Structure 1
Amino acid sequence: MERGIIVAFLQVKGGSGKSTLTQNLSVSFAHSNLKVKIVDCDIRQRTCSKWVSRRNEYHPEKPQVFSSIQVDDLRNSVVEDSKNYDVVIIDVQGSDSKSLRTSLLISDIVYIPFTPSQNDIEVIEEFCWLLEETHCQNNHRKTFYILNNCSVHYLDQSISDAELFFQDYTHVLSPSQIKVYNRKVYKVASSEGFGVIEMNDLKSRIEILNLKKEVESYV
């Protein structure tokens, strides 16, 4: 590939953890000596842009992650960025928006995060027609659902219930092999401008490094 890879974290509702995954994946690639840029399309919250500002201010010694806020002309902006960066990660606000639809058309890999609860996973029905409609316009795109904020309680059945639910939608998206659990370290790292691979928590580190490996396996 003569350009950088384009990854997007998308959802039609908030609270799925898109920005947290974006931040941590970007750090994992930056630690591989790659030039990484986050394109933050959520002009209201600007979660990733604020995190990048904290990181650059408080930890200039850490591998740098770049960012920009983008609303208009997302397609041309990201395509141009992919010529100058090894990895471009798009973080879109949790709603059905022009940015979300454009991301489906230009991304190499799309992750749709879901918290494994019935109310959250049922939004896939709203998402399905968008995925089907845009597939023919971007048929090289790999699209996955990823279970995020999973319960760490060993008796919790929500993960297996969610996986069973998604079996009816394998024609439009595949399961990520990675599950990200609800760990306090993710919130702490974000508030301090870190990625969890820079924190002293082995389980979260393994989750994110495995996510990075999964992305790399589809490049």
Structure 2
Amino acid sequence: MERGIIVAFLQVKGGSGKSTLTQNLAVSFVHSNLKVKIIACDIRQRTCSKWVSRRNEYHSDKPKIFSSIQVDDLKNSVIEDSKNYDVVIIDVQGSDSKSLRTALLISDIVYIPFTPSQNDVEVIEELYGLLEDTQFQNNNRKTFYILNNCSVHYLDQSISDAELFFKDYTHILVPSQIRVYNRKVYKVASSEGLGVIEMNDLKSKIEMLNLKKEVESYV
């Protein structure tokens, strides 16, 4: 590939953990000596941009991650950045927007995070038509659903219930092999401008390094 990988995290609703996944995937890649840029599409909350600012201010010893905010001209910005960066990660705001539709058209890999609850997974019905239409226009795109903020309780059935629900959508959505669990370390790392692979929590490190491997396996 003559350009960098373009990865997007998107949803039509907030609270799915897009920004946390974006931050941690970026850190996982930058520790492999790759040049990484995050493009944030939410000009109001600016979650990833603020995280990058904290990282650059307080952790100058850590590998640098670049970022910008882009809403109006996402396509041209991402395509241009992909010529200069090994990995470009788009953090799309949680709504049906022009940025979301553009990300579906230009990304190599798309992750749609869902909390494994009935109210959350049913949002796929809002996305279904968009995914189908844009897959035809971007036929090389891999589109995954990823279960995020999963319960760590071994008796919890929400993961298996969600996976059963998504079986009706496997022609348009590939199940990610990675499950991301509800661990305090994700919030702590984000507040400090770090990624979990830079913290002392082995389970979360494994989750994010495996997510990186999954992305690499489809490039």
TM tier relative to shorter chain: over 0.9
Q: 1:130 and 1:172 mapped to 2: Cα distance?
A: 10
Deviation at 1:84, TM superposition (A): 0.1
Which residue number in structure 2 is paired with residue 148 of structure 1? 148
Which residue number in structure 2 is paired with residue 54 of structure 1? 54
Matched, 1:111 2:107: no
Which residue number in structure 1 is paired with residue 24 of structure 2? 24
Q: Find the residue that maps to 1:145 and give its secondary structure.
A: strand
Amino acid at match of 2:211: L
TM-score (normalised: structure 1): 1.00
Amino acid at match of 2:89: I
Which residue number in structure 2 is paired with residue 76 of structure 1? 76
Q: 1:63 and 1:32 mapped to 2: Cα distance?
A: 10
For 1:32-47, what aligned pairs fall within 5 Å after superposition?
A: 32-47=32-47
Amino acid at match of 1:50: K
Which residue number in structure 1 is paired with residue 195 of structure 2? 195
Q: 1:73 and 1:137 mapped to 2: Cα distance?
A: 19
Superposed CA deviations along residues 166-187 of structure 1, whole A, max 9, x for unmatched, are: 0000111110000000000000
Which residue number in structure 1 is paired with residue 139 of structure 2? 139
Amino acid at match of 1:216: E
Amino acid at match of 1:97: S
Deviation at 1:161, TM superposition (A): 0.2
Q: 2:40 and 2:5 mapped to 1: Cα distance?
A: 16
Q: Find the residue that maps to 1:144 and give its secondary structure.
A: strand
Q: 1:28 and 1:172 mapped to 2: Cα distance?
A: 27
Which residue number in structure 1 is paired with residue 172 of structure 2? 172
Q: Find the residue that maps to 2:96 and give its secondary structure.
A: coil
Q: 2:105 and 2:149 mapped to 1: Cα distance?
A: 27
| Structure 2: segments with no counterpart, 5+ residues | none
Deviation at 1:189, TM superposition (A): 0.1
Q: Find the residue that maps to 2:82 and give its secondary structure.
A: helix
Amino acid at match of 2:60: P
Amino acid at match of 1:67: S
Q: 2:118 and 2:72 mapped to 1: Cα distance?
A: 34
Deviation at 1:136, TM superposition (A): 1.1
Superposed CA deviations along residues 120-179 of structure 1, whole A, max 9, x for unmatched, are: 000001100000011111000000000000000000000000000000001111100000
Which residue number in structure 2 is paired with residue 66 of structure 1? 66
Q: Cα RMSD between the aligned structures?
A: 0.3
Which residue number in structure 1 is paired with residue 157 of structure 2? 157
Q: 2:136 and 2:213 mapped to 1: Cα distance?
A: 27
TM-score (normalised: structure 2): 1.00
Q: 1:208 and 1:112 mapped to 2: Cα distance?
A: 16
Q: Percent identity?
A: 88
Which residue number in structure 2 is paired with residue 185 of structure 1? 185
Q: 1:163 and 1:89 mapped to 2: Cα distance?
A: 26
**Moved segments of 4+, more than 2 Å:** none
Which residue number in structure 2 is paired with residue 7 of structure 1? 7
| Structure 1: segments with no counterpart, 5+ residues | none
